[in-house]
Structure 1
Amino acid sequence: MDQAISTSPEGIRRLRDEHHALRARDFCDRFQISEAQLVAAYTGQGVTRIKAHPDDIMPRIERLGEVMALTRNASCVHERVGTYGNYKSGPHAAMILQPEIDLRLFPSHWVSAFALDEQTDKGMKRSIQIFDAAGDAVHKIHLRETSNHDAWADVIAELATEDTSDTLEVAPRKPAEAAKSNPDKRELLRSEWRKMTDTHQFLRLTSKLKMNRLGAYRIVGTPFVERMPPEAVDAALQSLAGSGTEIMLFVGNRGCIQIHGGPIETLRAMGPWQNVMDARFNLHLRLDHIHEVYVVNKPTQRGPAVSLEAFDAEGNIILQIFGRATTERDSRPEWETLLSALPRLQTEDAV
């Protein structure tokens, strides 16, 4: 890793000019600055500071028409083309509920936001980018050729703040929460798990038992959870591609979870990345970051909700995949058949 640079905006812009070929996130990792600080350094030079709260942003985004929504974590990028709308506000959690753009938003992590007008070799590139307290990207909205560019100036004028500073103070990045288990309460966990009637009850259950998601998965055992080898995720994606099986694929961070609902068609591996490259949905997954994988079965009133879930070495959740639920049932037999055919851990590795 290169030595950290001065976080003065002049120093950031100068070094960025010297390394313009690097992707923004790679540049920031290499020189130990946050992505928000990089964007802020160009305030007044194609970048406008805007209000960061989803209550301000989301109702206005509808006027931009068809856009690309992007949510990522360190191991996975989720990109979905569609329109924003049907915004549901909430003090702790908010939602966008659209057929293509389906989001869960956590406003306390929406700390700074910017509108970008970037002149590139391919023309003007416009986006809205939201960051958390550490300066990590929470959510991005990219305009496309099919977007309503005529509405852009008015939307940004309504969102703009009076802050024209090109510097940004960020907080230290919070570490991942380590797996929390309580083996003494394993049987109580199993008993309460059987009583679940909705998947949303799971986090309340683990909190009550002073555990978290990964900690509970590690101890609850079958038939509720089965640990899988890391390669099971890629095997699942390869089986899904072109099969027509509809899934719900969740990728998120502390501030936003983005959901793809539907089938996937085209996979394209590139180095450590496995990529879904469909017309309106792209996924970019670092397979080498996958450390723990589980098949998880949660009972609901409409049948079992069965998921495949991947975690990195620090315990961060990378993605979750469910069979797509319908109004009648939470289960999807073809998804469960696919899961049953995935590679399993050797017995000695499954402990």
Structure 2
Amino acid sequence: MENTTISLKEQYQQFKNENPKVRIRDAAKQLGVSEADLVAIGDSNIRLRPEFKEILNEISTLGHVMALTRNDYAVHERQGTYTKASFNGHVGLVANPDIDLRLFMNAWHFGFSVQEGDRRSFQFFDKDGKAVHKIYLTEQSDVQAYETLIATYRAPEQDVPLQTEEIDKSISESPDSEINVAGFQQAWMDLKDTHHFFGMLREFGVSRLQAMRLAPKEYAVQISVPSLKRILEGVSERDLEIMVFIGSRGCIQIHTGKAKKLLQTGPWFNILDPEFNMHLREDAIESVWLVKKPTKDGIVTSLEAFDADGNIIAQFFGKRKPGIPEREDWRQVVADYTINV
């Protein structure tokens, strides 16, 4: 095994020499390994014991940090301070105005402290070696607290090979003809809380993209892919506050606030604000849906972007809290900038 590790180290070093600007995630793909495999062989990186709930509950000691969650086509970076997480079985919650996370701990399998030049971070991975969440130190972070956490949670065995395994992430979908469409549509119209939407999909055996097709009339309308960027440009121009949801298998990360500085870089559409960055790969968006969900506070309007495999890439809402109706300025900007397919 040692020879394989050395070989991979050499391959990775050669790759970095030839491709100094390629990120580790893309390097792993090109080398045919997982990102976690490359992190594990880093000389300055330290494997952590898989006590992830305990680690998360001590991240607040770091002070101001940058939280990063991504999937294949969207990256969400939010600066702020963690508060203590609460857990109900495998599901966790970190909720404050800065760092707002929904955690799915059954997808957290490996953890490392990572040093890349001057950048220090904690990075967590699924069993297939894909990153589920990363926490980067900033100039304001407490470096001593970071070192203390490493000392506390350092794994006793650092050279044990990672046992990664493939995860079947294909979306199984029953034929529309086997779905109780009338019952599903009624349940949608009877919703009282957006958080019950996923449970409704499971109850009727409907995939998320299939739900868009089978939704009650006017509750899910496919709009043009360029509409999403146009709406976000309208949000920036009108100084609105929105909510941006981007997730991995193990974490959904939420930004609530403004989206002011917008920039296109090749296929990536970016929000580049001081405390919040989003990177969205436009050419990977297969469809965008304008979705309406009833709640006890009235209709809630979202934009949902999907890839070609039916996976959700990102969701956008107007800023809202339970007990308060949706903002009219959000509904207006969506209406003003939407182009239907």
- Shorter-chain TM-score: what band? over 0.9
Q: Which residue of 2 aligns with 1:204?
A: 199
User: Residue 91 of structure 1: CA displacement?
Assistant: 1.2
Between 1:183-192 and 1:251-260, the stretch displaced more is 183-192
1:339 maps onto 2:338 in alignment: no
Aligned pair partner of 1:313 in 296, 308, 312: 308
SS in 2 for 1:322: strand
What are the residue-to-residue correspondences of 1:27-46 with 2, within 5 Å?
27-42=27-42, 45-46=43-44
User: Residue 170 of structure 1: CA displacement?
Assistant: 1.1
Q: Which residue of 1 aligns with 2:219?
A: 224
1:75 maps onto 2:73 in alignment: yes
User: Residue 312 of structure 1: CA displacement?
Assistant: 0.2
Tell me: CA distance 1:7–1:226, structure 2 relative to 1, closer, same or farther (3 Å): farther
1:262 maps onto 2:257 in alignment: yes
Cα distance in 1, alignment partners of residues 51 and 207 from structure 2:
28
Equivalenced residue count is 335
Aligned pair partner of 2:186 in 188, 191, 194: 191
Cα distance in 2, alignment partners of residues 152 and 271 from structure 1:
36
User: Residue 299 of structure 1: CA displacement?
Assistant: 0.6
Cα distance in 2, alignment partners of residues 146 and 197 from structure 1:
42
Structure 1 stretches lacking a partner, 5+ long: 1-5, 347-351
Q: Which residue of 1 aligns with 2:176?
A: 182
Cα distance in 2, alignment partners of residues 319 and 16 from structure 1:
31
Cα distance in 1, alignment partners of residues 335 and 237 from structure 2:
18
Cα distance in 2, alignment partners of residues 152 and 256 from structure 1:
22
Cα distance in 2, alignment partners of residues 52 and 240 from structure 1:
41
SS in 2 for 1:108: helix
Q: Which residue of 2 aligns with 1:251?
A: 246
Cα distance in 2, alignment partners of residues 333 and 181 from structure 1:
37
**1:214-252: CA deviation from partner (whole Å, max 9, x where unpaired):** 111111142211111222221222111242211111000
User: Residue 178 of structure 1: CA displacement?
Assistant: 4.2
1:276 maps onto 2:271 in alignment: yes
Tell me: CA distance 1:303–1:7, structure 2 relative to 1, closer, same or farther (3 Å): farther
Between 1:306-315 and 1:207-216, the stretch displaced more is 207-216
Tell me: CA distance 1:180–1:230, structure 2 relative to 1, closer, same or farther (3 Å): farther
Structure 2 stretches lacking a partner, 5+ long: none
Q: 1:81–1:280: 8 Å Cα contact kept in structure 2? A: yes
1:150 maps onto 2:148 in alignment: no
Aligned pair partner of 2:102 in 104, 107, 126: 104
1:19 maps onto 2:15 in alignment: yes
Tell me: CA distance 1:327–1:182, structure 2 relative to 1, closer, same or farther (3 Å): same
Aligned pair partner of 2:54 in 41, 53, 56: 56
The alignment's TM-score, normalised by the length of structure 2, stands at 0.94
Tell me: CA distance 1:259–1:180, structure 2 relative to 1, closer, same or farther (3 Å): farther
The one-letter amino acid of 1:144's match is T
Cα distance in 2, alignment partners of residues 191 and 147 from structure 1:
50
SS in 2 for 1:28: helix
1:296 maps onto 2:291 in alignment: yes
The one-letter amino acid of 2:26's match is D
Q: Which residue of 2 aligns with 1:3?
A: none
Cα distance in 2, alignment partners of residues 237 and 39 from structure 1:
35
Cα distance in 1, alignment partners of residues 173 and 237 from structure 2:
35
Which 4+ runs in 1 deviate beyond 4 A? 178-181
Tell me: CA distance 1:83–1:223, structure 2 relative to 1, closer, same or farther (3 Å): same
User: Residue 326 of structure 1: CA displacement?
Assistant: 3.1
Cα distance in 2, alignment partners of residues 163 and 300 from structure 1:
50
Q: 1:230–1:290: 8 Å Cα contact kept in structure 2? A: yes
User: Residue 175 of structure 1: CA displacement?
Assistant: 2.6
Between 1:287-296 and 1:168-177, the stretch displaced more is 168-177
**1:180-232: CA deviation from partner (whole Å, max 9, x where unpaired):** 46345222112111111111111221211111221111111422111112222
User: Residue 269 of structure 1: CA displacement?
Assistant: 0.4
SS in 1 for 2:298: coil
The one-letter amino acid of 2:34's match is S
Q: Which residue of 2 aligns with 1:10?
A: 6
User: Residue 268 of structure 1: CA displacement?
Assistant: 0.8
**1:51-104: CA deviation from partner (whole Å, max 9, x where unpaired):** 334312111111110000000000000000000113112212101111110000
Q: 2:50–2:109: 8 Å Cα contact kept in structure 1? A: yes
What are the residue-to-residue correspondences of 1:78-93 with 2, within 5 Å?
78-93=76-91
